[in-house]
């Protein structure tokens, strides 16, 4: 059966849903000016994702990988939450929720690392399963210090390199000692994100939420990265409903009961309003 595009019908479903989850991807932050990974002009297209977002890539060229994350930090710091973030944030407020379905729950599971959902006063817990751009992790196994660091630039060595990423000129090789260091032991720091091949955060909590969900919103994701891409299918498998919000066709469409094509900063406020 073809997915419904009927907002009224969807809003009726919302009023009878008890445990709602949203799985969000880079498309949620697109309207905030943060480039997506695979969409048109996605920055992964200019760079090989697997050479930048893996432990091996970082070990091989920490200077290049830090320039990439410095570029993303600067973009996130300059960005503001958009109407899609705000629609999710309002929908997450207990007062708003209880008006719709008393005792219902709503949890945001995001693949995004930009921190914009937290900055839009989204009700916790926000499950940032791929980590956070502004966490700095120590690479010294005996230390493992983690700190929140939103300084711009995070260190002098990276100052101004964000312009290089845009133009893809060859990047300067920044010496290890001039890259971000752990404030506790002085070892090399790494971005607090989950790279390919690393285990995402909050998996047990997410698995419990997915098992209980009767409605899964899939927002602005190409549904190509696992295990995030498997959640909608899981919800559908146990009888829950799936609603996809995307500007393009994505892997999630085939699982959808509802498909709202278009920018989520327009469709989400309409669907959740």
Q: Which of 145, 227, 253, 254 binds ligand BV8 (CB under 6 A)?
A: 227
Neighbours of 34 (CB within 10 A): 20
User: Residue 113 interacts with ligand BV8 (CB under 6 A)?
Assistant: yes
37 binds ligand BV8 (CB under 6 A): yes
C-alpha R_g of the chain? 19
Q: Which residue(s) pair with 216 in the sheet? A: 21, 242
CA distance 91 to 105: 10
**Residue that is written with structure tokens 């959740």 in the block:** 272
Least distance to ligand BV8, CB of residue 219, Å: 7
- Which one from 130, 202, 238, 257 is the annotated catalytic residue? 130
Helices and strands, counts by H and E, the chain: 12, 9
φ, ψ for residue 132, nearest 5 deg: -140, 135
Of 203, 208, 237, 273, the one binding ligand BV8 by CB under 6 A: 203
SS3 147: strand
For ligand BV8, the closer CB: 47 or 187: 47
Cα 179 to Cα 62, 133, 168, 186, 266, distances in angstroms: 8, 15, 20, 11, 40
Interaction of residue 38 with ligand BV8, rule CB under 6 A: yes
d(CA 131, CA 155): 20
Site string for ligand BV8, 136-175 (x = CB under 6 A): ----------------------------------------
Does 44 show up as a binding residue in the annotation?
yes
d(CA 127, CA 10): 25
Contact 268, 106 (CB under 8 A): no
Q: Minimum Å distance from CB 56 to ligand BV8?
A: 12
Q: Is 222 annotated as a binding residue?
A: yes
Residue 220 is labelled as binding a ligand: yes
129 annotated binding-site participant: no
- Residue 41 known to bind ligand: yes
Among Zn ion, ligand BV8, none, residue 143 binds (CB under 5-8 Å by kind):
Zn ion
Peptide bond into 153 cis (omega under 30): yes
Alpha-carbon distance of 270 to 252, in angstroms, equals 20
Is 130 among the catalytic positions? yes
Quote the least distance from Cβ 101 to ligand BV8, whole Å: 25
Examine residue 115 and tell whether it contacts ligand BV8 (CB under 6 A): no
Q: Which of 22, 26, 242, 259 binds ligand BV8 (CB under 6 A)?
A: 26
Residue the block writes with tokens 């001039």: 178
Q: How far is the CB of 173 from ligand BV8 (least distance, A)?
A: 21
Q: Which residues contribute to the annotated binding site for substrate?
A: 69, 72
Residues known to be catalytic: 130
Kindly list the residues in this chain that would bind ligand BV8 in the complex (CB under 6 A): 25-27, 30-31, 36-39, 42, 53, 111-113, 130, 193-200, 203, 220-222, 224-227, 245-248, 250, 263-265
Q: Which residues contribute to the annotated binding site for Zn(2+)?
A: 138, 143, 182, 185
């Amino acid at each position: 059966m073809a997915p419904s595009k009927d907002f009224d019908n969807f809003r009726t479903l919302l009023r009878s849903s008890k445990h709602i989850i949203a799985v969000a991807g880079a498309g949620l932050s697109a309207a905030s000016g943060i480039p997506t990974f695979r969409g048109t002009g996605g920055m992964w297209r200019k760079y090989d994702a697997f050479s930048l977002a893996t432990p091996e890539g970082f070990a091989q060229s920490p200077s290049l990988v830090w320039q990439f994350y410095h570029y993303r930090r600067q973009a996130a710091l300059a960005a503001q939450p958009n109407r899609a973030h705000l629609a999710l944030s309002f929908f997450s407020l207990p007062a708003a929720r209880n008006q719709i379905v008393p005792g219902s729950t709503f949890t945001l599971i995001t693949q995004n690392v930009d921190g914009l959902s937290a900055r839009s006063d989204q009700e916790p817990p926000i499950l940032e399963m791929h980590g956070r751009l502004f966490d700095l992790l120590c690479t010294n196994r005996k230390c493992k210090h983690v700190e929140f660091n939103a300084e711009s630039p995070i260190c002098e060595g990276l100052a101004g390199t964000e312009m290089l990423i845009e133009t893809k000129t060859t990047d300067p090789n920044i010496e290890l000692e001039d890259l971000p260091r752990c404030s506790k032991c002085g070892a090399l720091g790494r971005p607090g994100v989950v790279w390919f091949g690393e285990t995402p955060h909050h998996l047990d909590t997410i698995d419990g939420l997915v098992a209980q969900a009767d409605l899964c919103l899939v927002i602005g994701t190409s549904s190509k990265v696992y295990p995030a891409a498997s959640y909608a299918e899981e919800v559908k498998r146990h009888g829950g409903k799936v609603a996809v919000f995307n500007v393009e066709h994505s892997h999630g469409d085939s699982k959808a009961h509802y498909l709202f094509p278009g920018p989520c900063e327009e469709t989400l406020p309409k669907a959740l309003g």
